[in-house]
Structure 1
Amino acid sequence: MFSSTLRAASKRRGLAPSHRPILKRCSRCQSSANFMTNTPVKARNSPTWRPVSVLDEWVAKEARPISLRQLMVFGRSLTEARLISSANYVRTELPTRIAHRIRDMQQLPYVVVENPHIKDVYNLYYNAFDTFRKVKEIKTLDDNDRLCEIISDNLKKHLTVIPKLAMGIHECEGLFDAKEMDRFMNTILKSRISRRVIAEQHLSLSETYNSPHFSPGAKLSESDFIGEVFIKCNAKSVIESCAAATRKIARSTNAPDVKVPEIKIEGHLETSFPYILSHLEYIIGELLRNSIQAVIDWHGKHGHPEDEPPPIEVTIAEAPQHATIRISDRGGGIPRQELPYLWAFSKGPHSQQRLANLGRVPKMAATMQELHIEDDLGRADLKTPPYQSSLATLTSRPPDLRLGMGLPLSRVYAEYWAGNLDVHSLEGYGVDAFLQISRLGNKNEQVITRASMDAV
């Protein structure tokens, strides 16, 4: 009752979001009593005044999730009318999804929101929301071109979001319940993926439509992309390309005489499914990278220098509804003290080192392409779009820089399309990682469609 009265009073006064009083439990004290931060005096670097009622109007709306199949059906026979319809979906869906995440951030404890990294993300989100909500209905191809310029510009600006969020979470350790913080991170990262999916899909469709070789309404073959969706994504091919890239990284980050384990692929080698290629590459790349380094380290301590390190075995299994990829290594398993933090963004035994490493990564699109050294993954079929996309090489992240985000972010990607990622460790022997993927593309994106902490 008291909390709702405070929110209503804040709305009437038109306080800036980060200046609104927030009623939260203090995680530093064991008391269950609530505390309220005092409304601070406006400082020189405080965010500009923003009317709360504008955000409320958009938070009252609900996001409309989509599936891979919907993306494919919509883009398979592309016409001008369909492209403009796609533009208007993006025009209204982006500010709706951003508004709900802004509201989630407003409900964090004030001390967390005031963290400089979290505040930067908040301002990026609000500026993007303010930009997209003012875009008028798209009626012509010229209108669509202007929208694409706005989308492309925002995609580029938001490449700083993941490292800033991660640094903010690490710095706020102890100020907020760790499980709640991880839940917040999962929500905001899935939402970020969802916005990039619909934004990049529309940019890709627009690029296709404007191509001189495009014929409106033309059918596409199963070997083609529909926007960013690879119609027939072959699991074996993706694993092979990621294996080549990660083994090359391992050779560059270890001594020249260090032997890199082979990667063997077996099982249902013809398994394919519709998927967004960069998502699958990120997951497989991170899992292989972890396994390769674990085997190298374990073999260096316990194996004979003349012996070859044990291979990493990848098994592909196909079922009617889903496909499963198992990655097995003999790299000694995961130390017991690290297991409780395996999927955590916020803390762990190496949190301070991770924080220092994150400070060296100004941008992060969370793609395999960030780990390239000289060339690409060896694929001839993947286009490099001219717009700033998470499919493009947008960062210079050193390949040996450990951020502690690979597994939790990989699970976020896996769960986004109703899949799953699980890891089983046998300490002293090795690890089995199981990635399950929906094969039919008929599952909606798994996103929170409303503000998870306070809807309105």
Structure 2
Amino acid sequence: MEASVNTGRVRIKSSLYSHWVDRPIRPISLRQLFFFGRTLTESRLLSSANYVRMELPTRIAHRLREMQRLPYVVVTNPHLSTVYELYYKAFETFRRTPVIRTVKENEDFCKVISENLREHLAVIPNLVMGVLECQDLVPPDAMDKFVQAMLRARISRRVIAEQHLALTDTFNSPWHVEQPSAEDEFVGEVLLRCNAKDIIERVGKFTQDICKSLAGPDAIVPEIKIQGHVNATFPYVLSHLEYITGELLRNSIQAVMAKYNNPRQPPPPIEVLICEAPQQVVIRISDQGGGVPREIAPFLWSFNKGPRSAERLQKFRDVPTLAATMQEVRQPAGNKPSGKHRDSSLSTLASRPPDLRLGMGLPMSRVYAEYWAGGLELHSLEGYGVDAFLQISKIGNQNEQLTSRASIDAV
């Protein structure tokens, strides 16, 4: 008998996508992304379109199967049901898309991709609210594995979709035939020479400004001091790096401002050390903000555990914009980070108001760091401060770290 699932609104049969689940996922690396798109021709653009056309339904099919394996009472949660329906709608859309043979057909396909990306901005808030509401129905560790697998797979789909949209924009621009020469050259969404110091300075200034805007004109924000290998560069998706460093700097700035609130006494600086090695770049962000409270420390990387889970759920419910977008609140144009910046699904994620603390910045940041074969660790000395270590693969030759078939089956 065919397996099926009923979310309350949608009932589908596994036979509709079983062969898509059996298809192997074709992972990519940053190096592949920028070498493929660096010399862009019509043939390469259409090849990219057809890769996306086949890869998206394959990856979505794995997520549908994983959601089907949740206990019935969990998958019928209205928030998780919404996620399921969005995924199934996207799966049906992409699996029915015919082979793309012309530039005009690619333009039509890009409109479909853009609409899908817009609709799926509702996935993260609904996923987290559903998980928080169902935290007593599934073992916490199993639920965390489920959320991490869902988020990592979501990143993978948005990367290949947004990369293709960016390549299409480049192809349609009048200068795409020119040889790129700028030091900060983009190939699609990939910035070939991310300079850690420049990005931290830009994101740090932006984060300082929005923290000060909440605390008031008399508040003193801590200085950010950067040292080490300040010329270190590496290929990376800029929006990912800005999100991770933005979350880490936001946490440090807010902790230091909370501990040192005497306007006549400057707070200690946040110290950033950049260390470059042949295979990796490590960024250490150190603060003297008092460290992580003991009752919170065991749950730093969890999406659903911890003493503040009920408070987090209420915050998600209280912010209406989360129903439509994980980008929370768009800041005025003048408050956005300066410098060359492509709009993407993360372009305003870190620009939410400082008082909107959803408790998912660190676990989300780790998922993003590990996606490109990096890592994120945090060492807290209670009563003193925190050292956060962000490890980045320097060469860009590591494939995206997707959840393996065995890991999916184990959830």
Task: Please classify the TM superposition score into its range, dividing by the shorter chain length.
Answer: over 0.9
Indicate which of 283, 288, 297 corresponds to 2:249: 288
Contact 1:63 1:96 in 2 (8 A): yes
Q: Which amino acid aligns with 1:241?
A: R
Indicate which of 277, 295, 298 corresponds to 2:259: 298
Q: Deviations over 1:155-187 (max 9, x none)?
A: 000001111111111111111010011111111
The 1:288/1:397 distance shift into structure 2, 3 A limit, reads: closer
Three-state SS of the structure 2 residue aligned to 1:258 is coil
The 1:371/1:291 distance shift into structure 2, 3 A limit, reads: farther
Three-state SS of the structure 2 residue aligned to 1:435 is strand
Deviation for aligned residue 1:373: 4.9
Indicate which of 205, 222, 245 corresponds to 1:261: 222
Partner of residue 301, structure 2: 343
Q: Which amino acid aligns with 1:253?
A: L
Deviation for aligned residue 1:399: 3.5
Partner of residue 142, structure 1: 104
Return the alpha-carbon distance in structure 2 between the equivalents of residues 452 and 147 of structure 1.
32
Contact 1:63 1:450 in 2 (8 A): no
Kindly indicate whether residue 20 of structure 2 is the aligned counterpart of residue 10 of structure 1: no
Contact 1:323 1:436 in 2 (8 A): yes
Q: Deviations over 1:264-287 (max 9, x none)?
A: 111110011000000000000000
Deviation for aligned residue 1:60: 0.8
Q: Which amino acid aligns with 2:310?
A: Q
Indicate which of 77, 82, 88 corresponds to 2:44: 82
Q: Which amino acid aligns with 2:6?
A: S
Q: Deviations over 1:60-99 (max 9, x none)?
A: 1121110000001100100000000000000000000000
Q: Which amino acid aligns with 1:187?
A: A
The 1:189/1:383 distance shift into structure 2, 3 A limit, reads: closer
Contact 1:235 1:269 in 2 (8 A): yes
Return the alpha-carbon distance in structure 2 between the equivalents of residues 371 and 315 of structure 1.
30
**Aligned 1:104-253 pairs, distance under 5 A:** 104-215=66-177, 218-253=179-214
Partner of residue 235, structure 2: 274
Contact 2:10 2:85 in 1 (8 A): no
Q: Which amino acid aligns with 2:2?
A: S
Kindly indicate whether residue 405 of structure 2 is the aligned counterpart of residue 447 of structure 1: no
Identical counterparts, % of pairs: 56
Return the alpha-carbon distance in structure 2 between the equivalents of residues 382 and 272 of structure 1.
17
| Larger of the two Rg values belongs to structure | 1
Return the alpha-carbon distance in structure 1 between the equivalents of residues 237 and 127 of structure 2.
24
Kindly indicate whether residue 398 of structure 2 is the aligned counterpart of residue 436 of structure 1: no
Return the alpha-carbon distance in structure 2 between the equivalents of residues 166 and 187 of structure 1.
13
Return the alpha-carbon distance in structure 2 between the equivalents of residues 376 and 206 of structure 1.
29
Indicate which of 76, 96, 119 corresponds to 2:58: 96
Deviation for aligned residue 1:220: 5.0
Partner of residue 56, structure 1: 18
Three-state SS of the structure 2 residue aligned to 1:375 is helix
Contact 2:40 2:176 in 1 (8 A): no
Q: Deviations over 1:303-341 (max 9, x none)?
A: x55211111001100000000000000000001110111
Return the alpha-carbon distance in structure 2 between the equivalents of residues 345 and 439 of structure 1.
29
Three-state SS of the structure 2 residue aligned to 1:336 is coil
TM-score by structure 2 length?
A: 0.94
Contact 2:371 2:400 in 1 (8 A): yes
Contact 1:264 1:314 in 2 (8 A): yes
Three-state SS of the structure 2 residue aligned to 1:231 is strand
- For these two proteins, the number of residue pairs brought into alignment is 407
> Which stretch has the larger CA shift, 164-173 or 371-380?
371-380
Show structure 1 runs of 4+ deviating over 3 A.
Answer: 218-222, 363-366, 369-374, 391-399, 449-455
Deviation for aligned residue 1:370: 5.6
Return the alpha-carbon distance in structure 2 between the equivalents of residues 371 and 415 of structure 1.
27
Kindly indicate whether residue 279 of structure 2 is the aligned counterpart of residue 313 of structure 1: no
Contact 1:372 1:399 in 2 (8 A): no
Partner of residue 402, structure 1: 357
Contact 2:243 2:346 in 1 (8 A): no
Contact 1:105 1:122 in 2 (8 A): yes
The 1:451/1:163 distance shift into structure 2, 3 A limit, reads: farther
Structure 2 unmatched ranges of 5 or more: none
CA RMSD of aligned residues (A): 1.9
The 1:235/1:319 distance shift into structure 2, 3 A limit, reads: same
**Aligned 1:35-74 pairs, distance under 5 A:** 46-74=8-36
Contact 1:104 1:451 in 2 (8 A): no
Q: Which amino acid aligns with 2:403?
A: I
Structure 1 unmatched ranges of 5 or more: 1-8, 20-45
Three-state SS of the structure 2 residue aligned to 1:448 is coil
Three-state SS of the structure 1 residue aligned to 2:391 is strand
Partner of residue 292, structure 2: 334
Partner of residue 340, structure 2: 381
Return the alpha-carbon distance in structure 2 between the equivalents of residues 371 and 311 of structure 1.
28
Three-state SS of the structure 2 residue aligned to 1:230 is strand
Kindly indicate whether residue 316 of structure 2 is the aligned counterpart of residue 358 of structure 1: yes
Contact 2:191 2:236 in 1 (8 A): yes
The 1:402/1:394 distance shift into structure 2, 3 A limit, reads: closer
